[in-house]
Chain A
Amino acid sequence: MEFLGQVFANGLFLSCLYALLALGTTLIFGVLRIGDLAQGALYALAGYLVFLGTKQWGLEYWLAATLAVVAVTLLSVLNGHFVYRRLRNLGIGQTFLGAVGLLIVIQNLLAIGFTWEPQAVRFPWGDALVQVGSIALLPQKISIIILAIAGLIGLWLFLRRSFIGKALRALAQNREAAQLVGVNASVVTALAFAIAGALSGSTGALMATVWPLTPYGGTLLVLKAFAITVIGMGQVRGAFIGALLVGMSEALVQGYWRAELSDLVPFVLLAGALILKPQVLGPEEDEKTNQLRSRTLPVFQTNGYLRYVPLVLAGLAVILPYFLPGQFWLHLAILAGINIIVVSGLDLLTGYAGIPSLAQAGLIGIGAYTSAILAMKLGWTFPLTLIGALIVTVGAASLIGLLGLRLKGRWTSFTFIMGIVIALFIANLGPFTGGTQGLIGVPFLTFDLPGLGKITLNPYRDKLAYFYLVLAFVVLALWLKSRIVHSRLGRALVAIREDDVLAQSVGISVEHHKLGAFLLSAAFASIAGSLYAHYLAYLNPDLFTFSQSFNLFVMNLIGGAATLLGAVFGPVALTAFAELTRSISGSIASIVFGILLIISLIYLPDGLTGMARKVWARLTVRSLRRSEPKSSKILEAEEAL
């Protein structure tokens, strides 16, 4: 009974912690229809500012905390004004990607500023447990509970009673209508960001005294807050009930079952909520805005000299190793090749069908782990491990696709959450995957050729052979992609991206094609995963986190979505950049990728290939005429004369 009381108290604390963050994300969800993941980074930032204030400048805890909250609130408003406001016009998918970008940028800036080592801040009222009956709680935890209750009541009164609170609710209900009756959307949106920032900041400042400070400390928290926002159906009351549900269930799982599984609780509840009530993720009005749209016209037939570019590139790739200065560059080329395979598949889904996915790294992970486990435990050789991994990955992807593709506008965030769930599963399936320790000693890639016996490719000795193997798969992937793009299937995907209702009314079965595109991208990811696993000979859940998915997405976008060669340029350029800056700090690449993504979302939606194509069009007369047609209105006038 005593233990149950303690579990209950702990659950209450967790609930209040989640509620504080979920209230902020719910407000922003109301005005923007996305989960503002950057709040997780702001939470961590507040903790670090308190750390800086108390340790470096010798400030009082409460003064440092107040300053931190003010700074974080301001930053939250700035994020809203400079990033989200501009992305919102482009669509919900883009806004969400911007949020992921901000999270990654701030988190990695913190890592550069304060290292990845955990830090601690002392609470001014001491660390003595407060005893209430048989239940003991830290004073900081009690202050979180008080803060949450005060925050909830304050917010409730503000939203119900004050004029500006009503304006905020009106904006959340119907943006256009609210603006028509005179609600100043920018002011109200800024206010939502300010409240959310203040909540995340004060929570972060308090929690710095409870849990060790890490740059990524707020990430899982904000994901849970986002899950709670969704479970609470975007309502303040719902968020509080959702937070109670999640916090209590987590405490029960921690207390009576297995502590390491408790992190999965909110996502399992979320999946349940989605299965029972898919409309919880908001009205269908968002259906179209989800689609990522490249402004480049897709070219069904490539004409002129451009036709030979892929052949020339393939030729160059074959002789490439003889021009590379050393083994490290060959290693880079192999990694880039593996990324090209993934991005080719991702481009079919994202560039052509207009369906973003942030689950790709998770899917690579499933492919890599399955391949490795089949080789380790069952002694399977290469083509078999590849096929086994394909089956498992595509199976998992069909589950994700069947569940998620119904969600339309919320699909991007759903894939994001699924990517994280996959990583959590890998980390928690210890007996099979080695848990967070990773899988050490994955067998090298081995062929069992009849008549020749076993041939093993040792990635340290036989890098060149491995390079050619990867190159073969790259060529296969690109060839298959170009075939698909020029076939009926490719046309159907483009039609779905442009207008899915019209696509259906010309006879395309939209649901099947969306699922098919996702499964194709999963298959490409799985092949890349197999090649990756046997190459590294070591696997770890950290290799397949959402920031990896994000990098792949950036590669696709920077290279140029919906182009054949974009899937080559992006991965080559960004893989090289990431590996070359790794010796200075692994965070640099992440920061640059995040900023690149946000900038290119706003200014360069066609990517590098789109730019190259425009330049090419300027250079060739024939294309020039095609690319700048006389306005149809002029032609019409001519016709009338």
Chain B
Amino acid sequence: MTRETLLEVRGLSKHFGGVIALDKIDFIVNRGDVLGVTGPNGTGKTTLFNLITGQVPPTSGEIFYNGTCILQQSPEWRVRAGIARTFQKTRLFYGLSVEENVRLGCYVHEPPGMKHVIFGSSRDESATQKERVAEILEMTGLDRYRSYPGSELSYGYQRRLEVAIALGSNPKLLLLDEPFGGQSAQSTTEMGRLIKSLQGQGLTIMMIEHRMESIVSYCNRLLVMRGGRIVIPTHRKEDRHAPN
């Protein structure tokens, strides 16, 4: 079965001063994949995410998304193009309600321009926005907490809200940075259910995860990283002979 490639990374490197965080890595992500990314701490997994979303510029290499090189594009452009992410350390708009958080997640679909500032959105446009927010709240099981401030939620719900915010931009590629990290057994199951349902909708997901059982349950492909390199699956001779 050949599937369309969504993301292709070629020879991507990132050096922070003398530290080599990523060392010429190559891989591809096909549409509909749930790609697990694992490896010891400090091997550049989060750096890889930051490079894909454009928050950090790479030292060298190329990233192709949908067949075009996106290195010159701003992080905002990439969100519009369908790349969304969550963070390892939870990031929310803590002072705002759950609903407003998701509404901000839908930011790229808000009607732009001065016209809307002065005359406001039409009834249709605000209705569409509200529908989208309601849909996401329902999908993530957050609808009953819609008027709560983000800071009031329990940790498990905060993680889910993070995913909800990321879904707001209607992404094609979702990058999840340790979505199960630090969660109770119940929240883990619910997060897993959410990821399964997203996969069912055909969303492509890259997921940083440490626990093998989660990877086995949700991922169909796996990248194992070590010292800024991908060691499994490997294409490079020196990595193939590297000691385990």
Contact = CB atoms under 8 A, between A and B. Distances in A.
A636 B96 contact: no
Contacts of A502: 87, 91-93, 165
B110 A491 contact: yes
B95 A297 contact: yes
B91 A483 contact: no
B229 to A, nearest CB: 26
B96 A505 contact: no
Interface stretch (B33-41, B57-65, B141-149, B217-225): B141-149
Interface in B116-137: 116-118, 120-121
Interface stretch (A138-146, A191-199, A225-233, A493-501): A493-501
Given A495-B104, A640-B186, A505 B53 contact: yes
A581 interface: no
Between B55, B87, B107, B120, the greatest number of chain A beta carbons within 10 A of the residue's beta carbon is seen for B107
A489 B75 CA distance: 18
A311 B100 CA distance: 26
Nearest to B162: A502
Contacts of A293: 95
A302 interface: no
A56 interface: no
A491 B116 CA distance: 13
Contacts of B226: none
Interface stretch (A79-87, A93-101, A457-465, A626-634): A626-634
A487 interface: yes
B188 interface: no
A504 B110 contact: no
A504 B110 CA distance: 15
Given A498-B96, A629-B148, A483 B74 contact: no
A505 B144 contact: no
Nearest to B104: A495
Contacts of A184: none
B145 A632 contact: yes
A600 B168 CA distance: 37
A633 B112 CA distance: 38
Interface in A471-504: 480, 483-484, 486-489, 491-492, 494-495, 498-499, 501-504
Interface of A is mostly: helix
A487 B116 contact: yes
A505 B149 contact: no
Contacts of B145: 632, 635
Between B55, B75, B165, B166, the greatest number of chain A beta carbons within 10 A of the residue's beta carbon is seen for B75
A506 B169 contact: yes
Interface in A334-383: none
B85 A505 contact: yes
A499 B93 contact: yes
B108 A507 contact: yes
A238 interface: no
Contacts of B108: 506-507
Nearest to A487: B117
Contact of A488 (B92, B110, B144): B110
A495 B93 contact: yes
Contact of A494 (B55, B96, B165): B96
A532 to B, nearest CB: 26
Between B76, B85, B111, the greatest number of chain A beta carbons within 10 A of the residue's beta carbon is seen for B76
A489 B110 CA distance: 10
Nearest to A494: B96
A255 interface: no
A491 B55 contact: no
A629 B152 CA distance: 9
A274 interface: no
A509 interface: yes
A285 to B, nearest CB: 14
Nearest to B97: A297
Interface string B201-215: 000000000000000
B84 interface: yes
Contacts of A508: 76, 107
Contacts of A507: 75-76, 79-80, 107-108, 169
A633 B154 contact: yes
A297 B84 CA distance: 26
A388 interface: no
B93 A498 contact: yes
B116 to A, nearest CB: 6
B198 interface: no
B144 to A, nearest CB: 7
Interface string A282-298: 00000000000111011
Contact of B76 (A297, A480, A509, A631): A509
Interface in B67-118: 74-76, 79-80, 84-85, 87, 91-97, 100, 103-105, 107-108, 110-112, 116-118
Closest 6 pairs (CB-CB, A-B): A507-B79, A498-B93, A488-B110, A507-B108, A502-B91, A487-B117
22 contacts: A293-B95, A297-B96, A298-B100, A300-B100, A484-B117, A487-B121, A488-B107, A488-B112, A491-B110, A495-B93, A495-B104, A495-B107, A498-B96, A502-B91, A505-B85, A506-B79, A506-B84, A506-B108, A509-B76, A629-B148, A632-B153, A640-B186
Given A491-B104, A504-B76, 20 more contacts: A293-B95, A295-B95, A298-B95, A298-B96, A480-B118, A488-B110, A488-B112, A495-B107, A501-B55, A501-B87, A502-B87, A504-B75, A505-B79, A506-B104, A506-B108, A506-B168, A507-B108, A626-B147, A635-B145, A636-B156
Interface of A: 293-295, 297-298, 300, 480, 483-484, 486-489, 491-492, 494-495, 498-499, 501-509, 626, 629, 631-633, 635-636, 640
Interface of B: 53, 55, 74-76, 79-80, 84-85, 87, 91-97, 100, 103-105, 107-108, 110-112, 116-118, 120-121, 144-145, 147-149, 152-154, 156-157, 165-166, 168-169, 186
